[in-house]
Amino acid sequence: MKIDVGTPGHREYLVHVPPALAARSFRSGRPVRPLPVVIALHGGADTMFGFEKKTGFDGLADRHGFLAVYPDGFAFTWNAGDCCAPARLAHIDDVGFLNRLIDHLTGTGLADPKRVYVTGFSNGAGMAYRFACESAGKVAAIGVVAGALAMACHPARPVSVMIWHGTADHNVPYDGGGHRDFNDSRPFPPVGRAVDFWRRADGLSSLRADGGRGCRSTGRGDGGVEVVLCTVTGGGHAWPSGASGRLWDFFAAHPRT
């Protein structure tokens, strides 16, 4: 599908509607009730089609009754603030694009404005961070996989955050390092810095064990917000097995209040 973003040209995205809900709507002649929506942002050098296959969110959407939406970046990238070219160099307004997309989905009655979730991988993860930093009022929770918070961030409201990162990630190192972009030699900050930022922004305590499931949580604060870190020991720069299901469970438990 295509959407006008107020500039020359247009932006594209895929929407997966659970078939059972679409059939029910067709039989009744009435639109389905507003559904939760997971907006999934591909990594650099990927596309919306590739990320749809990589994440498996379509199958989860069919089982749990949510919309899975896959926007396409500009020239395979997102302008995540301090990363990544060519979207960054072209000053692409990806925050504006995602805002328009969310407004369209909620305006048509397809998506529930209190259950909008954004997730992404690598460059797309950085974009998820940027969106939460600049448009916190539009999103209930974000999921970040193999990405870094490498920009100034001033969220207008608390946002629940789930972070996945492998300890052997050499592209965006777990403990920080590497280069933010081809023409920016500054290192990526460590994962721990993002965790500490969001728990302070959300008014939460330090991480603690989360039932032995490989993740640690702050526990819930005011309004039910929570920060969770899932460390993949030995994991590289990849979408972890099982992450999509765990991300959906996290999203489903954190509507915007």
- Compute CA distances 181 → 131, 152, 168, 171, 191, whole Å: 19, 17, 19, 11, 18
Whole-angstrom Cα distance, residue 11 to residue 9?
Answer: 7
Sequential pLDDT tens for the chain (257 residues): 888 776 667 899 999 999 987 656 655 556 678 999 999 999 999 999 999 999 999 999 999 999 999 999 999 999 999 999 999 999 999 999 999 999 999 999 999 999 999 999 999 999 999 999 999 999 999 999 999 999 999 999 999 999 999 999 999 999 999 999 989 999 999 999 999 999 999 999 999 976 556 899 999 999 999 999 999 999 999 999 999 999 999 999 999 98
DSSP 102-130: HHHHHHTTSEEEEEEEEEEETHHHHHHHH
The confidence score (pLDDT) of residue 23 equals: 59
Residues 6+ apart with CB under 8 A from 195: 163, 207, 227, 229
Q: Helical H runs in 40-159?
A: 48-55, 57-64, 94-107, 123-134
At the second CATH level, the architecture of 2-252 is 3-Layer(aba) Sandwich (3.40)
Q: Which helix (H) or strand (E) holds 93?
A: none
* Contacts of 102-105 spanning 24+ positions with Cβ under 8 A: 102/37, 102/39, 102/138, 102/139, 104/3, 105/15, 105/37, 105/67, 105/69
Q: 């939406």: which residue's tokens? A: 69
Residue ranges per structural domain of the chain:
2-252
Whole-angstrom Cα distance, residue 2 to residue 134?
Answer: 23
- Peptide bond between residue 173 and the one before it cis (omega within 30 degrees of 0): no
